[in-house]
Chain A
Amino acid sequence: MVERCVSHVDQDTVSATISRTERRQYLWLLPLWLGAVAVGMGMLFAYSLTPGAAAQPPEIWPASTQLRLSEGKSTIVLVAHPRCPCTRASISELSWLMSRLQGQVEGYVLFVKPQGVGKNWEQTDLWRSASILDGVQVIADEGGVESKKFGAYTSGQVYLYDRQGALMFSGGITPTRSHQGDNVGRRRVVHYVTQGSAERDTSAVYGCALNDEVSSESWLLRLTAAALAG
Chain B
Amino acid sequence: MRQRQIITKAPIELPSRSSALRITKLFDERYLGMVVKVDNLLARLMIAQWIAGIAIAFLISPLAWAGKEAVLHSHVFAAIFVGGAITSLPVFLVYRAPGSQLTRYVLAIAQVLWSALLIHLSGGRIETHFHVFVSLSLLAFYRDIKILIPATLVVALDHFARGLYWPESVYGVLNPEWWRFLEHAGWVMFLDGFLLYQCVYSYRELHSHCEQQVALEDAIDSAGKMEKLAAIGTLAASVGHELRNPLGAIRNAHTYIERKLNGEELAPLDPKLVQFFAIITRELDVSSKIINDLLEFSRPREPDLAPCPLKPLVEESMSLVPPRDGVTLVNDVPESLPIPDVDRDQFRQVLINIIQNASEAYKPESTGEVRVAAKTTERQGWQIIISDNGGGIAPDIIDKIFEPLFSTKVKGTGLGLALTSSMIERHEGSIDVDSTEGQGCMFTIQLPPRSTGGAS
Q: How far is the CA of A33 from the CA of B85 in the complex (A)?
A: 7
What is the bound-complex CA distance between A117 and B102, given in angstroms?
54
Taken together as a complex, chains A and B put the C-alpha atoms of A212 and B69 apart, in Å, by 6
> Which residues from chain A contact B65 at a C-beta distance below 8 Å?
81, 83-84, 155, 208-209
Contact mask A10-21 → B, CB, 8 Å, 1/0?
110111011001
Q: Quick check: A4 and B97 within 8 Å, CB to CB? A: no
Docked Cα-Cα span, A210 to B64, in Å, equals 11
Is the CB–CB distance between A211 and B66 below 8 Å? Answer: yes
User: In the complex the two chains form, is A209's CB within 8 Å of B66's CB?
Assistant: yes
B287 within 8 Å of A (CB atoms): no
A172 to B93, CA, bound (A): 44
Residues in A with CB closer than 8 Å to B97 are: 21, 23, 25-26
Q: How many pairs, one residue from A and one from B, have CB atoms within 8 Å of each other in the complex?
A: 193
Q: State how many angstroms separate the Cβ of A142 from the closest Cβ of chain B.
A: 13
Q: Is B102 within 8 A of A228, CB to CB?
A: no
B79-138 at interface with A (beta carbon < 8 Å) = 81-82, 85-86, 88-89, 92-93, 96-103, 106, 109, 113, 116-117, 120, 123-125
**Cβ contact within 8 Å between B71 and A10:** no
Instruction: Give the chain A neighbours of B99 by CB distance below 8 A.
Output: 17-18, 21
Q: State whether B22 touches A180 (Cβ < 8 A).
A: no
Cα A14 to Cα B28 in complex, Å, equals 6
User: A114 vs B65: C-alpha distance in the bound complex, in angstroms?
Assistant: 11
Which residues of B sit under 8 angstroms from A64, Cβ to Cβ?
none
Question: Does A178 lie within 8 Å of B89, measured CB to CB?
Answer: no
Q: Mark A160-185, 1 if CB is under 8 A from B, else 0.
A: 00000000000000011011111110
Would B1 and A10 count as touching, CB distance under 8 A? yes
Q: How far is the CB of B327 from chain A (nearest CB, A)?
A: 29
Closest chain-A Cβ to B102's Cβ sits at a distance in Å of: 6
* B26/A222 in contact, CB under 8 A: no
Given A83-B63, A83-B70, is A21 in contact with B100 using a C-beta cutoff of 8 Å? Answer: yes
Does chain A have a CB within 8 A of B383?
Answer: no
- Which residues of A, 19-69, contact B by the 8 Å Cβ criterion? 21-27, 29-30, 33-34, 36-37, 40-41, 43-45, 47-49
Stretch at the interface among A85-93, A97-105, A132-140, A190-198: A85-93
B224 CB to nearest A CB, Å? 10
Residues of B in contact (CB 8 Å), total 69
B60, A85: Cβ atoms closer than 8 Å: yes
Q: Which residues of A contact B292 (CB under 8 A)?
A: none
Q: Output the least CB separation between B79 and chain A (Å).
A: 10
A118 to chain B minimum Cβ distance, whole angstroms, is 10
Contact of B344 with A by CB under 8 A = no
Q: Residues of A contacting B58 with CB < 8 Å?
A: 228
Contact (Cβ within 8 A) B72 A10:
no
Bound Cα distance A83, B173 (Å): 27
Residues of A within 8 A of B413 (CB): none
Which segment, of B190-198, B213-221, B356-364, B369-377, faces chain A?
B213-221
**Docked CA distance A106–B78 (Å):** 38
Judge whether A228 and B82 touch: CB under 8 Å. no
Residues of B within 8 A of A225 (CB): 63, 70-72
Q: Which of A195-211 contact B (CB under 8 A)?
A: 208-211
Q: List 10 A-B contacts (CB under 8 A).
A: A5-B26, A10-B3, A14-B29, A17-B99, A29-B92, A30-B102, A179-B169, A181-B172, A184-B174, A187-B174
8 nearest A-B residue pairs (beta carbon): A85-B61, A212-B67, A40-B82, A214-B66, A209-B66, A225-B70, A179-B124, A14-B29
Give chain A's interface residues, CB within 8 Å of chain B: 1-2, 4-6, 8-11, 13-15, 17-18, 21-27, 29-30, 33-34, 36-37, 40-41, 43-45, 47-49, 81, 83-86, 88-89, 112, 114, 116-117, 121, 155, 175-176, 178-184, 187, 208-214, 217, 221-222, 224-226, 228-229
Given A5-B22, A213-B66, A225-B72, 18 other A-B contacts at CB below 8 A?
Answer: A8-B395, A11-B1, A14-B25, A17-B32, A24-B102, A26-B93, A40-B81, A41-B113, A85-B61, A176-B169, A179-B168, A181-B168, A182-B168, A208-B66, A212-B67, A214-B67, A225-B71, A229-B63
